[in-house]
Amino acid sequence: MKNLIRIFLLILIFAQVTISEPLRVGISVPLTGDIAEYGTAVKNGFELAKNENSSQFRDIELSFEDNQYDSKKAISAYNKLVTFNKVSLIYNWGEAPLNAVAPLAERNKIPLLSLSLDANPAKDKKYVIRTINSSYEYANCLLKHLEKRKIKNIGIIALEDPFIDSMIDGLKASVSETQNIDIAYTFLPDTIDFKTAILKLKAKNYDAIGVYLFPGQVSTFYKQAAAYGLRTPTFGTDIFESKTEAKQANGLMDGSVFPSVNVPKNFLEKYEKKFSNVIQIAYGYNAYVVAKMLPAIKKELPENYSGQDVLKSISKIKDSSFKLTVDKFGKYFQFPLVVKEVNGLKFEVL
């Protein structure tokens, strides 16, 4: 009889124990293709944070999908994460993917943390929060540096792409009264012959040239520019922060500058120790910061939580790495920005 009572009491106790629903997080990044090194850095950032805080990640499930920085693949990745993995929060990398999935996230009321310098797709989207500064802030940081160097007459060559378009828009909006920006030439994504553009650039009297191209194209441009004797100082985007690109350019990128997130030295050191490289470290750092937030987000959630609850939990997060800020496009994480210079296979803060 006593045993039966004990069993009955145990049943009552276990019946009152609520099994907490895990926080399922989907990560949509380019893991294959020409810009896979960006997605790899993001994945590394998440895994580093998880390894450092394994006990806090027991109730957090991470699922990675390859979006290849392609709109259609980004939609497929989103649908798989939502339908199959049952995620309630998505980290989405890239401008083109954000354009594709932002309306879906808003319709499904699934919070979307998006690393996209193009803020336009997030406008009027309650469920989209950008995890990085806008292209306008990047442009402002860069233009101030160029102005200090007395660079006034600026020529730009640019790829036709949402990321590049947003960077150009930022430059146009942030240019000072003493500076002039001329979009000298635009290219399709598959362009590899820049001879015509280079000859046109040589005929102009630019103080500096902005090289707004994609991986593979950047190093190709520098090699062709050297062959045709173009020696004008150059600048670009954080695509320049690639040892692969710098190596392929054979030192021809040295001295070029670009704006980027200021990555703390202690993070850089432990990341390099863990992964033996610092390729696209700014993106690894962004992912790391977001990943470290997840246990705190989970802690604030009720038992049966909704997308709205996840949004509220994110808004409560306090992190010294960034400032949760609001602009005309919505909420975003504002990080300190710096200008870096390419020096061999190193990227030095100026």
Q: Domains of the chain by range and CATH? A: 23-134+263-336 (3.40.50.2300), 135-261+339-349 (3.40.50.2300)
pLDDT digits (tens, 9 = 90+) for 179-203: 999 999 999 988 999 999 999 999 9
pLDDT attached to residue 46: 97
CB 292 within 8 A of CB 53: yes
- CA–CA separation, 331 and 338 (whole Å): 22
Query: Token digits for 323?
Result: 């400032």
Query: Token digits for 315?
Result: 């808004």
- CA–CA separation, 105 and 108 (whole Å): 5
pLDDT attached to residue 45: 97
pLDDT attached to residue 189: 87
Q: Which among 280, 276, 288, 287 is positioned nearest to 340, based on CA atoms?
A: 280
At residue 124's C-alpha, the angle toward residues 121 and 130, to 5°, is: 55
- pLDDT bin (cut points 50, 70, 90) of residue 318 is confident
Residue range 25-54: mean pLDDT, rounded: 95
Question: With 90 as the cut, is the pLDDT of residue 242 above it?
Answer: no
pLDDT digits (tens, 9 = 90+) for 262-304: 999 999 999 999 999 888 899 999 999 999 999 999 999 998 8
* Encoded amino acid at 286, one letter: N
pLDDT attached to residue 17: 43
pLDDT attached to residue 244: 87
pLDDT digits (tens, 9 = 90+) for 74-99: 999 999 999 999 999 999 999 999 99
List C-alpha distances in Å: 153 to 63, 99, 150, 175, 222: 47, 33, 9, 11, 20
- pLDDT bin (cut points 50, 70, 90) of residue 319 is confident
The percent of residues in the chain predicted with pLDDT above 90, rounded, is: 83
At residue 253's C-alpha, the angle toward residues 215 and 144, to 5°, is: 95
Residue range 12-35: mean pLDDT, rounded: 76
- pLDDT bin (cut points 50, 70, 90) of residue 243 is confident
Mean pLDDT of the chain: 91
pLDDT attached to residue 16: 42
* Encoded amino acid at 212, one letter: Y
Residue range 300-318: mean pLDDT, rounded: 90
19 vs 323, more confident: 323
The percent of residues in the chain predicted with pLDDT above 70, rounded, is: 94
